[in-house]
Structure 1
Amino acid sequence: MNELRFETLWKFPATLAIAVAGGAVFHLAGLPAAWLSGAMILVAAATLAGVPTVMPNKFRDGLFVLLGISMGAGVQPEVVERVSEWPLSMAMLLLVVVGVTIAGYCVLRYAAHWQKETAFFGAIPGTLAYVIALASERRADLPRIASTQSVRLFFLIALLPFAVVSTTDTDASITVSRYTSDLWDYAIGVPLCILGSLLAVKVRFPGGWMTGAFFTSAGLNASGAVHLVLPESIVLICMVAMGALIGCRFNEMTFREFVSVLSASVSAFAAAFSVSVAGAGFVSWMIDIPFGQALLAFAPGGLEVMTLMAFVLDLDPAFVAAHQIVRFTGMVLLLPAITLITIGRAPQSSDATGHTSTIATPDKPMT
């Protein structure tokens, strides 16, 4: 046990150093979502090359709490108020989320012949951190899930700006107010979010560390009583750490095995994205809004990334943020029940080493 702790003491800082280096390289190259994608790709490459990487469970749980707080910051009062302005697009959003999930699942389950649980989590659109939090509690094939989710995120970030610019005449439009937090907001909000996470974990709510913090942060921000917005420096650190966490998931997969799942991941993304494009096109025609704006709202990407793209491309960020928030919130609310119905309750884990490879996978049992 002492030897394992000693190994973790040097492997963990080394893992973070690799992640920072990857994020810095991508940032200097001007690539999108640089700190997240750069950290993820370099840590994954190092892991596949045989470099020992690790993400201790306690650090992972703390990271999920911070990410939950950050995501909840998008639920501001004016965004909540404007949700009622778009009933048709909100209804269409539900159909698109269901269609995207089914399309991706069918490809992974029946074309690629992935195990049921792995295909399910691999097909869930967006909310990468939440999916990882859910899958971490179960005996799913985490490397495959990370692969297909990472491929989806990469293609979204790489392709969406070009798709939006080429199909949309951008004009200045309504913006979402940006809030900052003071010491009072943090003193009230952070302890409440931690308490929310602890309660969610206590009742074994799926993804409890992130889910509890998200709902607490969202409720506080939506009320307007507290503006709990993490500093950009903290969010950046979380992005690097999240990239490192995803990269560590490849420690049970060889490079050859990664290449073997790449085709399935790309195919699943293509099927799912086609559903998003069709839904966005229909809504754009029905309520006369720019196609790119609808596409950003329906794309299975993160709230912060999609909203940021709306700001940069002079589209309506409130529309995009509201739909992404509703999509994420709806998934957080419904996925636990859907997961329990389709897969069952998560098994108890006895992991205490801090390693990320302690949950056996059905496709590749641990030895």
Structure 2
Amino acid sequence: MTNDGQRASVRSCQHWRREGGRHVGLCYAAAGGAIASLFGIAAPWLIGGICLTTFVALMRPFAGPPRLLIRASSVALGMSIGSRVGVSDLRLIATWPLSLAGMTVTVAAMFAGSYYALRRIFHWDLPTAFWASSPGALGIVLAMSSQAGADVTKVTIVQLLRVLAVMIALPSIVGPTKAATILPSSRLLGIGLLVFLFSLAGGLALRRLRWIKEPTAMLFSGIIVSCIVHTHFSLDGNWGDALIAPACIVISSNVGSRFSGMGWRDLVQLILPSTLSLFVATAIATAGSLALTLVSGLHWSQVLMAFAPGGLDALIAAAILLGMDSLYVATHQVLRLILLSVALPVAADFFERRVRAEKSARATSGVSLT
């Protein structure tokens, strides 16, 4: 075999190994969901998949699912939400401003509380404590923390353990209310698949608009297209749930793959600060949701799901599987992502100036002493 042929063979093997790793993660997520379903666990395709893929990733790393499947899972969630929206639901949106304002205050309080705990109790440096305290926007946090001089290992582990704990514990605590039926009839399944294709095309088109980012573009496309179909054709049934189980499998595989390559030693060393950060954020989210429930009369479990500092896709999927008002949860979770996406760069610039000022002051005092 020639050198060119050998190189082509190596590239082909690497490609199949990488793609095979992605498929292995999806298989583990499906297996975890099936096992959880047998034991009657709440939101089984989400919790079971996340638990098994996370354990496997720590033992034997694997790649996350392809980007197209991740986008498709967001579309599937939006499609399920839109298929449930009626005229009465749209009228209820007018009662949400107080809830959205309460969530904004809660997000700020979660950020401040976690930051204070990591700085005062564990004496973490300012950049690391700042980026580890963000209650969401994981992608932005991981991308910007390395540029800000933060300890990326600490930030990554604290963020991922918080997301993992919220995703696993919250559906179990809330409990199985009116669980969504996952398998629609063959006629409704065909309608759901057709709507999905239109929604996916619309989401890919929305991605080209700079002010709409993933997964919001995909989620909004699914909601809008399925809502139009649902209201215009007066379709009844669970046609919007056709792809919920596959979407949960993709989400679970994506979450678990983020733990690939992490060392057990780092996890053990950071378990205490991660637990404290999680406890502070969860306590504040619980208090905020209870306060809003007393004022607005909304169902507490629904408000808690909307305020929780977890993964956007996973919490929306859990709300669908547990039969909650998924439009309410999705609206609040998307707003939280938007707020953090806008506020984090501004706040990071402020803290960066503060760090530079502290270093300058220390340098000046050192020169004066000598």
User: Quick one: distance in 1 between partners of 2:20 and 2:320?
Assistant: 37
Q: Size of the alignment, in residue pairs?
A: 310
Residues 1:17 and 2:27 are matched in the alignment: yes
Q: Secondary structure at the match of 2:41?
A: coil
Which residue of the partner structure matches residue 72 of structure 1? 78
Contact 1:80 1:222 (C-alpha < 8 Å) held by counterparts: no
- Asked if 1:189 is matched to 2:199, the reply is yes
1:147 aligns with 2:161: yes
Q: 1:93 aligns with which of 98, 103, 106?
A: 103
- Any gaps of 5 or more consecutive residues in structure 1? 166-171, 173-177, 312-316, 345-367
Note if contact 1:221-1:227 (Cα within 8 Å) is conserved in structure 2: no
Deviation at 1:82, TM superposition (A): 0.6
Partner of 2:352: none
Which of residues 313, 317, 336 in structure 1 aligns to 2:341? 336
Task: Provide TM-score, normalisation by structure 1.
Answer: 0.69
State the shift of 1:195 in Å: 1.4
The change in CA–CA distance for 1:135 and 1:233 in structure 2 (over 3 A counts) is farther
Give the Cα separation in 2 of the matches to 1:9 and 1:184: 27
Q: What secondary structure does 1:30 align onto?
A: coil
Q: Quickly say closer, same or farther: Cα 1:55–1:307, change in 2 above 3 A.
A: closer
Unpaired stretches in structure 2, ≥5 consecutive residues: 1-9, 147-151, 179-183, 350-370
Please state whether the residue corresponding to 1:250 is helix, strand or coil.
coil
**SS of structure 2 residue aligned to 1:252:** coil
Inter-partner Cα distance in structure 1 for 2:77 and 2:126: 29
Is 2:319 the partner of 1:306?
yes
Equivalent residue, structure 2, for 1:36 = 46
Worse-superposed segment, 20-29 or 66-75: 66-75
Report the Cα distance in structure 2 between the residues aligned to 1:157 and 1:339, rounded to whole angstroms. Answer: 28
Which structure's CA Rg is the greater one? 2
**37-46 or 1-10, larger mean C-alpha shift:** 1-10
- Aligned counterparts of 1:193 and 1:186: Cα–Cα separation in 2: 10
Task: State the shift of 1:238 in Å.
Answer: 2.1
Mapped partners of 2:135, 2:174: distance in 1: 15
- Alpha-carbon distance, 1:120 to partner: 5.5
Q: In 2, Cα distance between the equivalents of 1:282 and 1:185?
A: 39
- Partner of residue 263, structure 2: 254
What CA deviation, in whole Å up to 9, does each residue of 1:92-121 have, x standing for no partner?
A: 232223223332344345545667676556
Q: What's the TM-score once normalised by structure 2's chain length?
A: 0.68
Structure 1 residue 336 displacement after superposition? 2.4
What is the match of residue 314 of structure 1? Answer: none
Task: Give the deviation of 1:271 after TM superposition.
Answer: 1.2
What residue number does 1:45 align with? 55
Q: Distance in 1 between matches of 2:328 and 2:161?
A: 26
Q: How far apart in 1 are the matches of 2:233 and 2:118?
A: 42
- Report 1:152-167 matches (<5 A): 152-161=166-175
1:186–1:244 Cα change, 3 Å = closer
Mapping of residues 1-367 of structure 1, within 5 Å: 2=11, 3-49=13-59, 51-55=60-64, 59=66, 61-73=67-79, 74=81, 76=85, 78=87, 79-108=89-118, 111-112=121-122, 123-125=133-135, 131-135=137-141, 137-138=143-144, 139=146, 141=153, 142-161=156-175, 181=191, 185-197=195-207, 199-200=208-209, 203=210, 208-221=213-226, 232-288=241-297, 291-292=300-301, 294-300=303-309, 302-306=315-319, 308-309=321-322, 311=323, 317-318=324-325, 321-343=326-348
- Distance change >3 Å, CA 219–CA 280, structure 1 → 2: same
User: Following the alignment from structure 2 to structure 1, what is the Cα–Cα distance between the partners of residues 16 and 327?
Assistant: 46
**Amino acid across the alignment from 1:148:** R
Tell me the distance in 2 between the aligned counterparts of 1:52 and 1:296: 30
Task: Output the CA distance in 2 between the equivalents of 1:280 and 1:23.
Answer: 29
> Which protein is richer in helix relative to its size?
2
CA distance in 1, matches of 2:42, 2:127: 31
Cα distance between partner residues in 1 of 2:61 and 2:97: 50
